[in-house]
């Protein structure tokens, strides 16, 4: 039985890595993100096949090796690959990220206007206020002498404060008080140890089976669900009290105010606001930390970026404006290059809604992905492909100059996904990261700490990429 299971791909004419007769590819699953398994598959077959097969437990997974095929799946044949995965629904999971088929389509149309540039401009002011707390904390910790800081810890707090303020309209300062109730609960969502990785992968994959067997498995602890429901309930009550004096500069307000939705219930509002908080918090803090880590290793890139920022700020003085940030091209390139090297999601997943015939050259044996097949697009492996990005381990924001990007395949960068289901919060995420980096780079210089690893250690237990132990950097004030 197992031999048959672990040869599913080979039987169907698809190349696969040699599978252990009893364990399949079990021992190649070394992180929750399956980075190692996908990389090995990509390296083994890229160039000789459009698709390769692998196994996560007994489930066959199709790994896409060709960028044209990735484009078909994400964009041109999107209607055949709408869903990301089959999620068992629990209260906090009933959101856009997990929604399926028509429900996803309706939700996406409803939520897209919330991310308009008009709304982002309103939220811009909210984040710049939080960035002032970040600057103050650095000032207190670094003083005039300079020092060594765990910048990831501080950026994690900044991102938590900013994401909570923008998603729920809740103001607190975890930079001053790391034990604030929201942060204690917020951290429980993400911070997983590197133990029990394979059990977590099993749960992700067989969630609905476990649920049908009435086994009590939960994605989020009940404490977390209760906490976030309470936050939204309190906000709803406050809104009723202040009916005529509402400022629309958080997502919860925007959700409640969106036309025809005044009757959204607590149960409907909570998962969406939670989704925006969850999607923005960890992605932004990790991206900022990875960017500073790379900038510390590359002083000339850091100085070039600082020159751009200060030059544009000077032009728009005295205040940091939304328009000024839009002008900072090199900053945008730096963020893209950071997400190339450290993509928040190591892969994009889709499920075939029907049998799908992979377009092959005439004369080749036709290849069919059966209905229900889980498809992985190995983002990290694509980002580290030396044929696409020469010397891929080197940090080089110049790779993303417009003229250079135009010479690459449109699927060569997938840091925010692509197609109708790409990241809805891309502009918002970029904005939050930019505001944080501008606040720091205008005032502080970053350099590497001797003895700290040259390659940033990454957690294996998190779905979203995050530094494993923190990011230690030397920090000094920029001379006046
Ligand atoms: C650096 C910041 C961020 C990164 C790198 C990032 C990355 C991604 C990626 C790779 C996807 C999957 C796209 C796909 O499957 O094609 C995604 C989806 C999504 N992201 Fe983000 N994200 C970021 C920030 C945000 C923010 C700030 C929000 C909300 C406020 C957000 C909300 C979402 C949602 C709701 C989805 C699911 C969209 C759908 O299924 O229609 N993200 N994100």
**pLDDT value of position 347:** 97
**pLDDT value of position 305:** 98
Q: For helices 181-190 and 151-168, give the axis angle rounded to 10 degrees.
A: 110
Q: Concatenated DSSP letters for 202-215?
A: HHHHSHHHHHHTT-
Q: What does the pLDDT average to over 201-214? A: 80
Total residue length of the chain = 480
478 CA from centroid of ligand 1 (Å): 34
Task: Give the C-alpha separation, 155 to 289, whole Å.
Answer: 7
Residue 210 has which token pair? 């476990």
Q: Provide the phi-psi class of 402: left if phi over 0, else alpha when psi is between -120 and 50, else beta.
A: alpha
* Closest CA relative to residue 128, chosen from 343, 319, 359: 319
Q: Are 296 and 437 in contact (CB under 8 A)?
A: no
427 CA from centroid of ligand 1 (Å): 10
The answer to whether the CB of 108 is under 6 A from ligand 1 is yes
Task: Give the C-alpha separation, 175 to 170, whole Å.
Answer: 15
Q: Please tell me what DSSP assigns to residue 100.
A: -
pLDDT of 25 above 80: yes
**Beta strands of 342-443 (E only): which ranges?**
348-351, 356-358, 367-369, 374-377
Q: What are phi and psi of 244, to 5 degrees?
A: -100, 5
The answer to whether the CB of 436 is under 6 A from ligand 1 is no
Q: What are phi and psi of 382, to 5 degrees?
A: -65, -45
Q: What does the pLDDT average to over 57-62? A: 94
Nearest residue (CA) to ligand 1, atom 17: 423
- 117-131, 196-210, 324-338, 364-378: least confidently modelled range: 196-210
Q: Which atom of ligand 1 is nearest to the CA of 280?
A: 27
Domain around 419:
2-477
Q: Which atom of ligand 1 is nearest to the CA of 429?
A: 27
Nearest residue (CA) to ligand 1, atom 21: 423
* Closest CA relative to residue 328, chosen from 341, 339, 315, 318: 315
- Three-class secondary structure assignment of 45-81: HECCECEEEEEECCEEEEEECCHHHHHHHHHHCHHHC
The answer to whether the CB of 415 is under 6 A from ligand 1 is yes
CA dihedral sign, ordered 80, 82, 85, 87:
negative
Q: Concatenated DSSP letters for 272-296?
A: HHHHHHHHHHHHHHHHHHHHHHHHH
Residue 185 has which token pair? 């609960």
Task: Kindly report, residue by residue over 226-260, the tens digit of the pLDDT.
Answer: 999 999 888 888 877 766 566 667 888 888 776 55
pLDDT of 175 above 80: yes
* C-alpha 476: how far from chain center: 30
Q: Please tell me what DSSP assigns to residue 365.
A: P
Which secondary-structure segment (H or E) carries 476? strand 472-477
Residue 179 has which token pair? 């034990």
Q: Are 34 and 466 in contact (CB under 8 A)?
A: no
Q: Which residues are annotated as a binding site for heme?
A: 423
Task: Give the C-alpha separation, 29 to 197, whole Å.
Answer: 8
Q: Which atom of ligand 1 is nearest to the CA of 421?
A: 41
The answer to whether the CB of 24 is under 6 A from ligand 1 is no
244 CA from centroid of ligand 1 (Å): 33
CATH code of the domain containing 264: 1.10.630.10
Q: Using pLDDT thresholds of 50, 70 and 90, give the confidence band for residue 196.
A: confident
Q: Which atom of ligand 1 is nearest to the CA of 343?
A: 5
**pLDDT value of position 466:** 92
| Total count of domains within the chain | 1
Local structure of 266: helix, strand or coil: helix
| pTM attached to this predicted model | 0.94
**pLDDT value of position 259:** 53
pLDDT of 378 above 90: yes
pLDDT of 369 above 90: yes
Asked if this assembly's ipTM is beyond 0.95, the reply is yes
* Closest CA relative to residue 51, chosen from 354, 356, 384, 345: 356
CA dihedral sign, ordered 280, 283, 289, 294:
negative
Report the mean per-residue pLDDT for the chain: 91
Q: What are phi and psi of 348, to 5 degrees?
A: -105, 140
Task: Kindly report, residue by residue over 379-434, the tens digit of the pLDDT.
Answer: 999 999 999 999 999 999 999 999 999 999 999 999 999 999 999 999 999 999 99
Q: What are phi and psi of 318, to 5 degrees?
A: -90, -15
Nearest residue (CA) to ligand 1, atom 7: 416
Q: Please tell me what DSSP assigns to residue 149.
A: E
**pLDDT value of position 303:** 98
Local structure of 371: helix, strand or coil: coil
The answer to whether the CB of 348 is under 6 A from ligand 1 is yes
Q: What are phi and psi of 443, to 5 degrees?
A: -105, -25
């Amino acid at each position: 039985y197992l031999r048959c299971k672990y040869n599913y791909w080979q039987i169907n004419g698809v190349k696969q890595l040699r599978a252990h007769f009893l364990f399949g590819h079990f021992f190649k699953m070394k992180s929750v993100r399956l980075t190692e398994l996908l990389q090995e598959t990509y390296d083994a077959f890229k160039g000789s096949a459009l698709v390769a097969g692998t196994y996560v437990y007994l489930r066959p997974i199709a790994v896409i090796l060709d960028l044209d095929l990735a484009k078909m799946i994400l964009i041109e044949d999107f209607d055949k690959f709408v869903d990301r995965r089959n999620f068992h629904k629990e209260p906090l999971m009933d959101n856009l990220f997990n929604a399926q088929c028509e429900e996803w389509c309706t939700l996406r149309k409803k939520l897209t206007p919330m991310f308009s540039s008009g709304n982002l401009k309103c939220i811009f002011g909210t984040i710049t206020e939080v960035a002032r707390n970040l600057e103050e904390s650095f000032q207190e910790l670094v003083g005039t002498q300079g020092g060594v800081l765990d910048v990831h810890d501080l950026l994690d707090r900044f991102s938590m404060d900013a994401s909570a303020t923008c998603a729920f309209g809740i103001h607190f300062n975890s930079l001053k008080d790391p034990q604030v109730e929201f942060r204690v609960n917020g951290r429980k969502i993400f911070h997983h140890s590197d133990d029990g990785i394979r059990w977590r992968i099993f749960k992700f994959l067989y969630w609905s089976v476990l649920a049908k067997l009435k086994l009590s498995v939960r994605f989020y602890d009940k404490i977390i669900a209760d906490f976030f429901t309470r936050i939204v309930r309190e906000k709803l009550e406050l809104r009723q009290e202040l009916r005529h004096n509402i400022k629309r500069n958080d997502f919860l307000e925007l959700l409640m105010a969106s036309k025809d939705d005044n009757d959204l219930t607590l149960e409907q509002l909570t998962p969406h606001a939670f989704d925006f908080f969850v999607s923005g918090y960890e992605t932004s803090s990790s991206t900022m930390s990875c960017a500073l880590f790379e900038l510390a290793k590359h002083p000339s890139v850091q100085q070039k970026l600082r020159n751009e920022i200060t030059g544009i700020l000077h032009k728009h003085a005295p205040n940091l404006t939304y328009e000024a940030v839009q002008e900072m091209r090199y900053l945008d390139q730096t963020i893209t290059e950071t997400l190339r090297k450290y993509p928040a999601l190591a892969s994009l997943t889709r499920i075939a809604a029907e049998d799908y015939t992979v377009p092959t050259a005439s004369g080749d044996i036709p290849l069919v992905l059966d209905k229900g097949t889980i498809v992985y697009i190995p983002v990290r492996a694509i980002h580290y492909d030396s044929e696409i990005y020469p010397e891929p381990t080197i940090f080089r924001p110049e790779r993303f100059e417009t003229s250079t990007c135009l010479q690459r395949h449109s699927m060569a960068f997938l840091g925010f996904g692509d197609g109708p289901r790409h990241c809805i919060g891309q502009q918002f995420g970029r904005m939050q990261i930019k505001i944080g980096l501008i606040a720091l780079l205008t005032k502080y210089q970053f350099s590497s700490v001797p003895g700290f690893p040259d390659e940033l250690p990454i957690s294996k237990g998190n779905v979203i990429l995050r530094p494993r132990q923190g990011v230690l950097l030397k920090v000094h004030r920029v001379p006046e």
